[in-house]
Structure 1
């Protein structure tokens, strides 16, 4: 059998959990009919220490030619046009949009980050190695590094010679691609789904306007902040200017409210490319998820949810029976809904998730009665005089059992080469606290509202300046719902 091959390997223990994430049993070979041939899933190795799943796409050249005719249409798409192309082309042997389309069908649940039996693992970054032995790469190995490295992958793109017997002929336009890193499986698969046709710079079907939505959906959470988003967008949309312009406009809007910060992106881009570690944003989410898991919460608020990076991870974990995301920006909530694919979720899952427009400086009775709330990279976006109002709303009025707060560590900013002295990591930040300032604030809030406090850092600990992100977990210490709430000085501010 000759076809297009992709392998996914993990050393997560037990490694055979990969079968649960892919919803494909390691003891069976499974075959799936796809428009251009047959896709086979099997496991060359599967034990507790190491597990590899393989997707082999067996392309039928005649069916491929038929798909091309149906996709393009029009008077020019005659059978004679494809007589030679049916038999002489590289599509059946090199990774391209054919493999991406097969992934979308065969690994549908995994691409969405869903796993009925391993929901928590589906939301957790795990060690992964992805390999595509033959990939057409327009622009050479350098382009593969440019698109994958900023996503946290260690990239090996080895050019394949035209003929090993004649090295003087040079290299072909194909590479043997190997990616290693610590990623959520869903993120890894979506990276491949978008970037395989980007590297090939061709698609086996006509690119219609609905391809914009496909790109934005698969690129949610990473494409808007990617340094090569222009290249990726143009190639994915087959260089159609109108479609690429539409996509880039929406990505620019998403970037205004998305979570990763410029300084974090600069720092993590080089760090992950060199050492294969997840980004600071991913490590921050993992730390918040761990704190929520430790709290035993099942009904959770994500306050200031932005475009929904954390909500997506929460939605993939069955322990959370009710998930609410709030934001003052209606546009951010629209992005979150798109990222969560709310319009495509089954009714039972859709009913677990609510998105509400709400300002954190005004009391909202809908926020009361929840087990836990998250303020992830939120407080620094408020003017300091408005912080007491937020404290009243969250800790006094809503009063969840646990509150998880993260914020930048201002002392760590000196480690960002691209950040001038005295500047904040993000243009919208109103302040950034040192460790002593954050500790003083968290201790005051805990004491005022009856919470126990635990402080820690997220990211690599620097012996001089600490970790890049500060984290506080406040757990309610006075369960009495009539606990006295501090009286705030009335404000003349108008509700936005």
Structure 2
């Protein structure tokens, strides 16, 4: 089976650095079911093509010789009687090719390049061709799964017999993908979607396949319009595994692209603006922390770690702690931060603790600053005093940064009527006056000064979409009276 990867980036031979495979040599790798080879049919400054050839040994595929733990063959029609030895597996792209990709291009899949790190992080022009792909669902399904990811898709059906066109098309397509993407993104798309289109994995699908799927699908699968089909097929139609994966994808989607609420996405004209607001919110929080001079920071209710990533990336923060009541959210945060791959010095800056914000936790005392970003609205109002006591009274960081939605701005979202919240899990959303009153009360009760700002475009009638408060511990003689309100556009 064959896959080619072509770029016209100048110099095109930099593809060899990204794949960590020199264009002047052929590279061979042993696989459980045969061997993989990487070579370059063309390599000059204008155009470079890397070809991955997987040479499958049908006897090893059928008999399991050399197959390690986790590679027990799945029960498909090919696994019985003569079909074990006479089948299309050595020739048509399938999960075998995806497994070879993962082994041969391991660094490129992770987006790592020691020699060209800036190029590994940048989109480049790419063309991928898989001349023979078993595609259950035909070219239409291939387009539905690849096109939303930025690919121009050509999936030409391969006839059963060119000399007898009346026999119709086979179940195979000649797939060509063209686009400008990061190489790592392109390879992860292929790693997930080639087995999805084939819809017959060559190995036993165990629960750890969920982690593989979410790792390779990070940043794109949670919001993919065909995510249910992709998840079900990738996990070999095992209902329990697919259900768990979909639940975890829903959590990722909630954290990475907070929905405008229980209104369907397609009904919102505001949908394209949400990532920009999320970015502006993080920038506002980071700016407030920088202005405070904090170096040891708590991210309270960190979820899967969207803010943690930004905190860890800023060297001014020497210790970063993420807490959440959900152990699963902390697991997602650890994966997002790639804790298992960080150098020891970097890893020592980070702590992830399971903790409930409505209970006092001695571990949280003594920090310079704490952040509650889009957290308080998820707490039942009767439990807010307990949160206030745990954070402002017991932990008592020198600076506390709080963000929450401005409910008045909701009327600017199409489909959100009066009384509708931006998310189904919100227990409340406050007006500007209600938020300011809460800030005043908390500051006066616990000896802080505070100021309230807006984040996002400040609508003259309903204000900005997000409200932000910065609490600072009051020194001797400091006025702890009403807050200062400053709109930040």
Normalised to the residue count of structure 2, the TM-score between the two structures is 0.67
| 1:249 corresponds to 2:244 | yes
| 2:427 counterpart (422, 430, 433) | 430
In structure 2, the CA distance between the partners of 1:77 and 1:133, relative to structure 1 (3 Å rule), is: closer
Aligned twin of 1:366: 363
Q: Which residue of 1 aligns with 2:60?
A: 66
CA contact (8 A) 1:414 1:421 kept: no
Deviations 1:256-281 (A, max 9, x none): 68524454697766889xx9x97835
Structure-2 separation of matches of 1:370 and 1:41: 55
Q: C-alpha displacement at 1:4, in angstroms?
A: 0.2
2:195 matched to 1:203? Answer: no
- Residues 136, 175 of structure 1: 8 Å contact kept: no
Partner of 1:37: 36
Q: Deviations over 1:365-423 (max 9, x none)?
A: 43345455443321211234655654565567443557363536552455344x56532
Cα 1:127–1:342 shift into 2, 3 Å: closer
Equivalent-residue separation in structure 1 for 2:103 and 2:246 (angstroms) = 26
Question: Following the alignment from structure 1 to structure 2, what is the Cα–Cα distance between the partners of residues 387 and 203?
Answer: 49
Q: How big is the shift at 1:77?
A: 6.9
User: Which runs of no fewer than 5 residues in structure 1 stay unpaired?
Assistant: 488-496
Distance 1:101 1:253, change over 3 A: closer
From 131, 137, 152, the counterpart of 1:156: 152
Residue pair 2:323, 2:330 contacting (<8 A) in 1 also: yes
Could you tell me which residue of structure 2 aligns to residue 490 of structure 1?
none
Instruction: Give how far 1:304 is off.
Output: 0.7
Structure-to-structure mapping, 1:255-266, within 5 angstroms: 255=250, 258-259=254-255, 260-263=257-260
Aligned counterpart, 2:484: none
Q: Is the 8 Å Cα contact of residues 306 and 336 (structure 1) preserved in structure 2?
A: yes
> SS of 2:456's equivalent?
strand
CA distance in 1, matches of 2:241, 2:307: 26
1:56 aligns to what? 51
Describe how 1:275-290 pairs up with structure 2 within 5 A: 280=274, 284=278, 288=282
User: Does residue 389 of structure 2 align to residue 382 of structure 1?
Assistant: no
State whether structure 2 residue 472 is matched by structure 1 residue 470.
no
| C-alpha contact 1:197 1:236 (8 A) present in aligned 2 | yes
- 2:236 corresponding residue in structure 1: 238
Report 1:138-157 matches (<5 A). Answer: 138-144=136-142, 146-147=144-145, 153-157=149-153
Offset of 1:219 from its aligned partner?
4.3
Report SS of the residue matched to 1:425: coil
User: CA 1:254 to 1:321, structure 2 compared with 1: closer, same or farther past 3 Å?
Assistant: farther
Measure the CA separation in 1 of the matches of 2:39 and 2:400.
46
Structure 2: how far apart are the matches of 1:266 and 1:167? 52
1:292 paired residue among 286, 302, 321: 286
CA distance in 2, matches of 1:68, 1:410: 64
Report the aligned-residue RMSD. Answer: 5.6
Aligned equivalents of 1:317, 1:102: Cα separation in 2: 36
Count of matched residue positions in the alignment of Structure 1 and Structure 2: 456
Q: By how many angstroms is 1:355 displaced?
A: 1.8
1:322 counterpart (319, 322, 338): 319
Match of 1:492 in 2: none
Instruction: Give the Å deviation of 1:197.
Output: 1.5
Q: CA shift at 1:61, angstroms?
A: 3.9
Deviations 1:313-350 (A, max 9, x none): 65677776533211123443345446556567665554
Please report the TM-score for the alignment, with normalisation by the length of structure 1: 0.66
Note closer, same or farther for the CA distance 1:308–1:205 as it changes in structure 2 (3 Å cut).
Answer: same
Q: Is the 8 A contact 1:32 1:38 kept in 2?
A: yes
Q: Is the 8 A contact 1:268 1:279 kept in 2?
A: no
From the CA coordinates, give the structure whose radius of gyration is larger.
2
Which position in structure 2 is the counterpart of 1:3?
Answer: 2
Correspondences of 1:110-121 after superposition (within 5 Å):
111-112=109-110
For residues 135-180 of structure 1, the C-alpha deviation after alignment (integer angstroms, 9 at most, x for no partner) is 554323443454456xx634533331547x9998787742645476
Q: Is the 8 A contact 2:261 2:424 kept in 1?
A: no
Match of 2:52, SS?
strand
1:132 alignment counterpart: 128
| Structure 2 residue matching 1:60: 3-state secondary structure | strand
- Distance (whole Å) between structure 2 residues aligned to residue 39 and residue 148 of structure 1: 24
Deviations 1:229-258 (A, max 9, x none): 44223211223x3xx413413543674685
CA spacing shift, 1:415–1:171, aligned 2, 3 Å: farther
Describe the SS at the equivalent of 1:305. Answer: coil
CA contact (8 A) 1:68 1:204 kept: no
Alignment match of 2:403 (pick from 402, 405, 408): 405
Distance 2:259 2:317 in 1: 31
Find the aligned partners of 2:177 and 2:80 in 1 and give their Cα distance. Answer: 39
Return the alpha-carbon distance in structure 1 between the equivalents of residues 285 and 152 of structure 2: 35
Give the Cα separation in 2 of the matches to 1:30 and 1:290.
51
> Which of residues 330, 352, 355 is equivalent to 1:355?
352
